[in-house]
């Protein structure tokens, strides 16, 4: 079993957003979805379902963002 940063994908009401990705990122998302699905005993997770949880995880672990959000960012 691979040690991925993402766990199971929650089934949440989505908000429609259009983004442009490079072909390389799209290929990586497809591969990630295949591995995540396989590890969970599910079919591959489509790239569109991975983007929101990945961004959520990224934001949750960004200490600089958390500090700035609390008002502790650099003030000049």
Domain ranges across the chain: 23-69
pLDDT at 26: 98
pLDDT at 43: 97
pLDDT at 25: 97
Structure tokens that stand for 71 in this block = 């008002």
Task: Confirm whether pTM is higher than 0.85.
Answer: no
Q: Which residues of the chain have pLDDT under 70?
A: 72-76
pLDDT at 75: 54
pLDDT at 36: 95
C-alpha–C-alpha distance, residues 9 and 47, integer Å = 12
C-alpha–C-alpha distance, residues 36 and 58, integer Å = 17
């Amino acid at each position: 079993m691979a040690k991925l940063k993402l766990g199971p994908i929650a089934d949440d009401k989505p908000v429609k957003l259009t983004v442009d990705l490079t072909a390389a990122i799209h290929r990586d998302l497809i591969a990630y979805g295949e591995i995540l699905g396989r590890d969970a005993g599910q079919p591959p997770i489509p790239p569109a379902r991975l983007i929101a949880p990945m961004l959520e995880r990224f934001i949750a672990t960004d200490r600089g963002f958390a500090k700035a959000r609390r008002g502790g960012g650099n003030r000049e």
